[in-house]
């Protein structure tokens, strides 16, 4: 059971928009700790997609965006492409655990 | 460009030991915190440990505290993870990552299998 809760899977048609939620609690996201997002294509290492809730590292397309409100955060992907098929993980810090925590991951399927 | 290359994984019996290494290049290694993050087969991610740039601040997840030791050699741009008293549940791909609040760059990972 992950500290941060994500839907196990989401899907969307090519060109459409999807969102992936990440729900935490008052000891992590709700306490004001930043949320970060990673993309993991099967068989490869995770890649940083969003850091500090809303910031994209250089090279990440602006089709990817992050937001945070209260005890939750979301990753939005617009203009879905086949290459976006991957697992997506959210990550934050938890004060009660005194360490970084991940969501369980969400598998994105592009129809 | 940042490059992180892990090595040292393999098959080890329960109770055994293994030492992982991570060779870093493409950035000023001595200026950055470094981390180890693992992923059990077909499972999610778990932050295992991190170490400050000087080595003075270290964090371990409760699941490995007292069994794993993280260290770094800034002169050699190298990060290590000494894993003792290994258990079946330590079986995972272990990734070296730059940073400790988040992993800005990751290595390709090295597989550790703990089995008799």
Give per-residue pLDDT as tens, A74-96: 999 999 999 999 999 999 999 99
Q: How big is chain B, counted in residues?
A: 116
CA atoms B92, A58, A52, A50: torsion sign: negative
CB-based contacts of B70-77 (< 8 A; 24+ apart in sequence):
B70/B36, B72/B34, B74/B29, B74/B30, B77/B23, B77/B24, B77/B25, B77/B29, B77/B30
Residues of chain B with pLDDT under 70: none
Please classify residue A82 by burial: count the beta carbons closer than 10 Å to its beta carbon, then call 0-12 exposed, 13-18 middle and 19+ buried: exposed
Nearest to B108 by CA among B1, B6, B2: B6
Contact A93 B109 (CB under 8 A): no
Chain B hits for A44, Cβ within 8 Å? 108
| pLDDT tens column, A39-62 | 999 999 999 999 999 999 999 999
What is the pLDDT of chain B when averaged over all its residues?
97
Contact A34 B106 (CB under 8 A): no
As a whole number of angstroms, the distance between CA B94 and CA B19 comes to 11
Contact B106 A93 (CB under 8 A): no
CB within 8 A of B83, min separation 6: which ones? B17, B18, B19, B20, B64, B67, B68, B90, B112
């Amino acid at each position: 059971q992950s500290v941060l809760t994500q839907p196990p899977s989401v899907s969307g048609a090519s060109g459409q928009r999807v969102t992936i939620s990440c729900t935490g609690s008052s000891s992590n996201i709700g306490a004001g700790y930043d949320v970060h997002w990673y993309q993991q294509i099967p068989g490869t290492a995770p890649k940083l997609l969003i850091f500090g809730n809303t910031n994209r590292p250089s090279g990440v397309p602006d089709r990817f965006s992050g937001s945070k409100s209260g005890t939750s955060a979301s990753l939005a992907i617009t203009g879905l492409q086949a290459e976006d098929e991957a697992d997506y993980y959210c990550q934050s810090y938890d004060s009660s655990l005194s360490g970084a925590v991940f969501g369980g991951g969400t598998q994105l399927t592009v129809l | 460009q940042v490059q992180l290359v892990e090595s040292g994984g393999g098959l080890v019996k329960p109770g055994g030991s293994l030492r992982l290494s991570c060779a870093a290049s493409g950035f000023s290694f001595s200026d950055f915190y470094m981390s180890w993050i693992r992923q059990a087969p077909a499972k999610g991610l778990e932050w295992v440990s991190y170490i400050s740039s000087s080595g003075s601040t270290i964090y371990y997840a409760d699941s490995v505290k007292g069994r794993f030791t993280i260290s770094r050699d800034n002169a050699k741009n190298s990060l290590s993870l000494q894993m003792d008293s290994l258990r079946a549940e330590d079986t995972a791909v272990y990734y070296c990552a730059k940073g400790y609040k988040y992993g800005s760059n990751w290595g390709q990972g090295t597989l550790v299998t703990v089995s008799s």
